Chains A and B, each alone.
Chain A
Amino acid sequence: MTAPETVRPTRDGPRARPAWRVARLAADRRENARTRTLVLEVPGWPGHLPGQHVDVRLTAEDGYTATRSYSMSAPADGERVEITVQRVPDGEVSPYLTEDLPVGAEIEILGPVGGWFVWRPAPAPTLLIAGGAGIVPIMAMGRAWLGTGDRAQDGAGRDGAARGGAGAMRVIYSLRSPDLLCYRDDLDALAAAGAPVLYAYTRRPAPGGHRPAGRLTREEIVEHGFAADQGPACFVCGPTGFVEAVAAALIDLGHDPARVRTERFGPSGG
């Protein structure tokens, strides 16, 4: 099967050795009170796969440097790279990126990196599970899935329908409360295109929602996911404890551990 161009714009692009490059902030979007998407223009960008991340390096006037990893939130699009940054209270890098970096300014990025937590279109179904800011690489995968459908023009719309070269997709998004939601429009677009999205609020439910606030349960994963014998690819991203619990539940439900790919972020953010 040939990989569609949305996820691999040039055949060898994503395989090129990463290097530090200058990235200019071309535009931005406010996702919520503490989260900002940065649309970067990166001359010479070789392309990337949905799920990959970049390292961002900032240098202060006194020479102090700080480097942090951020997932890209959109599939490859020429020299455009989108990252989404959530402000970490008392952080050092994230408040600068979410509040201070002006449009037109330049930063340094290294990437793309990570060849494991990446989504490639395949006939088997895909289950995406995000916890909190773990939605960022998950969204890149969802958008790439939408892109495959655009090309195939297959008129998807049925629940969990296959699209273009890609099998069905379902999404579970666990987050604390509705005010921390990111990418509402794109998630709605996913749902409209046949990839249902379950919102699992852990602390405060959405007004008028049917689900009481609480942790994502195993039953919900069963109900909203795919059966193990359908052989889905499962991608889980979020805080370490969340990823540990969800991955353990999936494997317990009979999913092949080799098909459960995880990415955790630890306490080093900021």
Chain B
Amino acid sequence: MAAERPITDDRHLDGNALAGPLSMLFVPDIATSTGRCGSCGRGDLLARAPLYAQAPGQVLRCRHCGNVVLRLVSAPDMFWLDLPHGSGLAIPHTAPADVSRDVSRGS
């Protein structure tokens, strides 16, 4: 069990900065989903969680215990996305009409 290390430094951004790349993969409002930390079990809006973006990938951490909630690596031809250690995302519904139109457009 990892020790709890609440995030208090000032080297991170807000998860809101993930909205751009994640919107390529999910619904536009993905940053308003709630992330649950797989380590301490607490939840927080993805947009508010501390994001370490100055790295080979973007690393979103739990503000309460410091563990990794989400990793996104953007390669020229591929994204890698994972929610390690049993972390999860609760993603709000969008209007089904919007979603189906996006899919049919295939953008």
Binding site for B on A (CB under 8 A): 12, 14-19, 53, 55, 69, 110-117, 240-241, 244, 261-268
Contact = CB atoms under 8 A, between A and B. Distances in A.
B17 interface: yes
B97 A12 contact: yes
Given A240-B12, A266-B12, 5 more contacts: A14-B28, A111-B20, A114-B19, A116-B19, A262-B48
B4 interface: no
Contacts of A53: 19-20
Contacts of A114: 16, 19-20, 31, 47
A15 B47 contact: no
B32 interface: yes
B45 interface: yes
Contacts of A19: 107
B53 A266 contact: yes
A55 B24 CA distance: 12
A266 B11 contact: yes
B29 A15 contact: yes
Nearest to A117: B16
Contact of B47 (A55, A116, A244): A116
B98 interface: yes
Contact of A110 (B11, B20, B31): B20
B13 A264 contact: yes
A240 B13 contact: yes
A263 B29 CA distance: 16
B17 to A, nearest CB: 7
B106 to A, nearest CB: 11
B77 interface: no
B95 interface: yes
A116 B53 contact: no
Main secondary structure of the interface of A (DSSP, over half): mixed
A18 B102 CA distance: 10
B98 A267 contact: no
Contact of A266 (B13, B20, B95): B13
A53 B97 CA distance: 24
B27 interface: yes
26 contacts: A12-B97, A15-B28, A15-B95, A17-B28, A18-B20, A18-B24, A53-B19, A69-B17, A69-B20, A113-B19, A113-B23, A114-B16, A115-B30, A115-B31, A116-B31, A116-B45, A116-B47, A117-B16, A117-B47, A240-B12, A263-B16, A263-B17, A264-B14, A265-B13, A266-B54, A268-B53
A239 to B, nearest CB: 9
A117 B58 CA distance: 19
B74 to A, nearest CB: 9
B28 A113 contact: yes
B20 A55 contact: yes
Contacts of A112: 28
Contacts of A17: 23, 27-28, 102, 107
Contacts of A115: 19, 28-32, 47
